[in-house]
Structure 1
Amino acid sequence: MLVHQANQVASEIFRPNSRKYDRAEHDYPKELDMLSALMDGMNDGGDRGAGTAGLARAAADSDGIVNGANMSTVLGLIELCWGDVGLALSLPRQGLGNAAIAAVANDEQKKALRGCWAGMAITEPGCGSDSAAIRTTAVRDGDEFVINGEKIFVTAGQRCDHVVVWASLDPKKGRAAIKSFVVSKDNPGMKVLRLEHKLGIRSSDTATIVFENCRVPRSALLGSEEIDTKQGFGGVMQTFDNTRPVVAAMAIGVARAALERTRELLEQAGLSPADYAADRWRMPAAVATFHELEAEWEAARLLTLRAAWMADNGQPNSLQASMSKAKAGRMATQVTLKCAELGGALGYSEDELLEKWARDSKILDIFEGTQQIQLLIVARRLLGKSSAELK
């Protein structure tokens, strides 16, 4: 039912408005307001929608096999991003910051922040892939923290009403001192400096935000104030174990859209992939390439479902989350670019969405940890090396 619902949204709302908001960059997609009300109603009724707000790791001692919030989010976002990645990222109250709140916040914080729309502020001008190198600080002052710093590439940074910002309690203590804070957009110490113009996902706003003596209460801190140098910053990093399969799902969705349209174009040209399934020795190059792309897509899909399933069943999935993100991100750029090529002139023109899907897919190989960082994480996990031992 969830997959069907998400597919209907994608086909009836996202696809018809996809090109409109690609051209009207930074315009708010007002068509999404109705969807947000629908998703709120589903969440209030106990049903799971296709957004990130319900993401959370199950307890390790859960009984039986569970397909829960992580699996439903992945399956739903595959469908939504089959429609449009940028619009999926623009759904109110379904930001990546909401996933952080679901993963790290305590029950009292979750109750207080219910219904908020939270962006995620991690990247800084001098800190990209190495999240441990952030320079934004949060200094304790009585019952408050004072945050100072600058964040870039904040998805939904202008439209959201809260921002989850990563800051260091003590830069001298390294990554263990990095904590996440929820800051309301009406805080006078936080300001949206500018919006970015982008290659793809243009319907999604991407902002630069500055924090100048931004005061937040101690209750804004997600997790513990304690700086545990032995644990590192595993608490805030747990967010990525939930959201990296989500980004992989986005890549699977947009790649599937490109594959389906390319199959239709090949069939119109008299090169139906199905006609050569049992006669591979005389398969045209275009059809052979298409079959290879389908195989890459299926491999990424299975890795992603595995990572989401593990999170739903309380199993550590950091390795699998990075594997799925690395594979799906690379697969999506490969598939969408090759499909645009197979489409010939149609693949390069705005008469089709193939060129747009090729542009949209690139970000999915970059944000939530670049391709290179994911491969580094995988290598560390497989070899049993720490970040200090393998850089």
Structure 2
Amino acid sequence: MISFELSDQQQQIKEMTHWFAENEIRPIAMEADKQEKVPDDWLDKVNKMGIHLNTSSFSGGGDKDSSGKKAKKEREGNRMGVLATEEMAWGDPAVTLSLPGAGLGGPPVESSGTPEQKERFLSIFKNDEPRWGAYALTEPDAGSDASAIRTTATKVDGGYILNGQKIFITNGACASWVVVFATVDASLGRSGQRAFVVEKGATGFSCSRLAEKMGLRANETAELVFEDCFVPQENLLGGEALYETSGSKPSGFQVAMKTFDSTRPIVAAMAIGIARAAYEYTLDIVKHDYPKQGDFFRMASELLGECEQDIAAARLLTWEAAWKADLGLANAKEAAMCKAHAGKTGLDICAKCLELLGPTGLDGHLVEKLYRDVKVFDIFEGTNEIQHLVIARRQYAPHGIRV
């Protein structure tokens, strides 16, 4: 039987991050949205407090047998991550994504990097100066279909030459390094893909522009360009040995997919935090400001009851995906399910709350901002259509049916 009671350590993490979200994140969120930037002095302060955005707790479940025989010793890192992330996103998702740390670049380095690469690229976040990592997969013609990337990696003496373009990269301009996916031979499809760590200042590597966005405006989203960008051999993630392993033919594509199994529950937790913030704000207004009788109050109460129900369902799906990752079990289907459900739930709840609040919820109010922020959560880390395809493939795979 699964216990739904949080351990003492998990409860402490939840309470601590909620305190931080309420007292440090929420007070700066609206102004950061208007200015489209998180204040530098605030980032310096939280970095000195040791608070970072790290999503590298994934224990490498992949597509292993889920019978339990191959499960690793139980950990709590992924569950801690989704608990903390929900609270931080409740404070504000854009500010949360702007926190210093390895961010989405952490999981591929942690799961596929050599010991030397892990030490070199992850140790920089212990510095007194705020630093960021980033993850660059999406291209103008390769978004949901990650196998279609066209950024090239040409082998040369001492390393590789990268040419191509990446778009919609979170913290891409400020990052000290970016995990970049490229192909050594497009005709090989997924097998030709490799993952590289490209460091800031590398010749031929530049940020061409920052995107103007409807939501998450305080967090930068960059377009990156690689023009004859030299990447040394030691920055090939995992080294040549990773891609020469016999049997499973590992590639950069597998590295990317393994990353999603870790980060999709984190994205789901953020969507849940946003939904909860909108729900609690609206519930508080309905309880205190609206007449306690009549059809409207009854209708509002029913809608808010549905919101609470949907938040709880999304949270349980997310906890299951994180729990399986902590045990080292295959969680690709669960990660896709929680991400798809939480993204849709967040958007639906923010829309319902806006409808209930009417003009009160518009023109710079919290719920209006949350509605703008939450839309992307059914798009990035794979659209909901892609999540449903991932789920379907794993439904049919035991029967030998390809989707």
Q: What TM-score do the two structures reach when normalised by structure 1?
A: 0.89
Match of 1:115 in 2: 124
Match of 1:196 in 2: 211
How has the CA–CA distance of structure 1 residues 50 and 82 changed in structure 2, closer, same or farther, with 3 Å as cutoff? same
Match of 1:252 in 2: 272
After TM superposition, give the deviation of residue 10 of structure 1 in Å: 0.8
Q: 2:323 corresponds to which letter in structure 1?
A: W
Residue 4 (structure 1) aligned with residue 15 (structure 2)? yes
Match of 1:363 in 2: 376
Deviation sequence 1:328-387 (CA, Å, 0-9, x none): 01110111111111111111232x201000110011111110111101111111122899
Residue 300 (structure 1) aligned with residue 314 (structure 2)? yes
Larger relative contact order, structure 1 or 2 (CA cutoff 8 Å, min sep 6): 2
Give unpaired runs (5+ residues) of structure 1.
41-48
Identity of aligned residues (%): 38
Match of 1:44 in 2: none
Match of 1:62 in 2: 72
Equivalents in 2 of 1:183, 1:147: separation in Å? Answer: 10
Residue 342 (structure 1) aligned with residue 376 (structure 2)? no
Q: Of 208, 211, 216, which residue of structure 1 is paired with 2:231?
A: 216
Match of 1:169 in 2: 184
Deviation sequence 1:64-99 (CA, Å, 0-9, x none): x43x22111111110100000001100111421122
Match of 2:298 in 1: 284
After TM superposition, give the deviation of residue 26 of structure 1 in Å: 4.1
Match of 2:49 in 1: 38
Q: 1:174 corresponds to which letter in structure 2?
A: G
Equivalents in 1 of 2:103, 2:299: separation in Å? Answer: 41
In 1, are the aligned partners of 2:58 and 2:326 still within 8 Å (CA)? no
Match of 1:84 in 2: 92
Equivalents in 1 of 2:39, 2:210: separation in Å? Answer: 13
CA RMSD of aligned residues (A): 2.5
How has the CA–CA distance of structure 1 residues 208 and 179 changed in structure 2, closer, same or farther, with 3 Å as cutoff? same
In 1, are the aligned partners of 2:195 and 2:255 still within 8 Å (CA)? no
After TM superposition, give the deviation of residue 100 of structure 1 in Å: 2.2
After TM superposition, give the deviation of residue 50 of structure 1 in Å: 6.2
How has the CA–CA distance of structure 1 residues 28 and 146 changed in structure 2, closer, same or farther, with 3 Å as cutoff? farther
Residue 129 (structure 1) aligned with residue 144 (structure 2)? yes
In 1, are the aligned partners of 2:204 and 2:226 still within 8 Å (CA)? yes
The 3-state SS of whatever aligns with 1:182 is: strand
How has the CA–CA distance of structure 1 residues 185 and 312 changed in structure 2, closer, same or farther, with 3 Å as cutoff? same
Equivalents in 1 of 2:141, 2:178: separation in Å? Answer: 20
Q: 2:382 corresponds to which letter in structure 1?
A: G
Give unpaired runs (5+ residues) of structure 2.
1-11, 65-69, 126-131
Q: 2:90 corresponds to which letter in structure 1?
A: W
In 2, are the aligned partners of 1:56 and 1:99 still within 8 Å (CA)? no
In 2, are the aligned partners of 1:157 and 1:208 still within 8 Å (CA)? yes
The 3-state SS of whatever aligns with 1:166 is: strand
In 2, are the aligned partners of 1:119 and 1:156 still within 8 Å (CA)? yes
Residue 18 (structure 1) aligned with residue 33 (structure 2)? no
Note the 1:88-99 alignment, pairs <5 A.
88-99=96-107
Deviation sequence 1:1-25 (CA, Å, 0-9, x none): 2222211221111111111110001
The 3-state SS of whatever aligns with 2:278 is: helix
Deviation sequence 1:177-233 (CA, Å, 0-9, x none): 112111101112100000011010011000101001111111211132338795463
In 1, are the aligned partners of 2:179 and 2:195 still within 8 Å (CA)? yes
Equivalents in 2 of 1:336, 1:182: separation in Å? Answer: 37
Greater alpha carbon shift after TM alignment, 257-266 vs 110-119: 110-119
In 1, are the aligned partners of 2:260 and 2:381 still within 8 Å (CA)? yes
In 1, are the aligned partners of 2:290 and 2:297 still within 8 Å (CA)? no
How has the CA–CA distance of structure 1 residues 17 and 251 changed in structure 2, closer, same or farther, with 3 Å as cutoff? same
How has the CA–CA distance of structure 1 residues 84 and 27 changed in structure 2, closer, same or farther, with 3 Å as cutoff? closer
Deviation sequence 1:149-169 (CA, Å, 0-9, x none): 000001001111111111112
After TM superposition, give the deviation of residue 55 of structure 1 in Å: 3.9
Q: What TM-score do the two structures reach when normalised by structure 2?
A: 0.87
Q: 2:91 corresponds to which letter in structure 1?
A: G
Equivalents in 2 of 1:212, 1:2: separation in Å? Answer: 44
Deviation sequence 1:221-276 (CA, Å, 0-9, x none): 1132338795463233100100000100100111110111111011023467xx99
Equivalents in 2 of 1:257, 1:341: separation in Å? Answer: 15
Equivalents in 2 of 1:201, 1:25: separation in Å? Answer: 8
The 3-state SS of whatever aligns with 1:209 is: strand
Equivalents in 1 of 2:191, 2:184: separation in Å? Answer: 9
After TM superposition, give the deviation of residue 29 of structure 1 in Å: 4.5
Q: Of 386, 398, 403, which residue of structure 2 is paired with 1:373?
A: 386
Equivalents in 2 of 1:33, 1:69: separation in Å? Answer: 25
How has the CA–CA distance of structure 1 residues 311 and 54 changed in structure 2, closer, same or farther, with 3 Å as cutoff? closer
Equivalents in 2 of 1:57, 1:72: separation in Å? Answer: 16
In 1, are the aligned partners of 2:18 and 2:88 still within 8 Å (CA)? yes
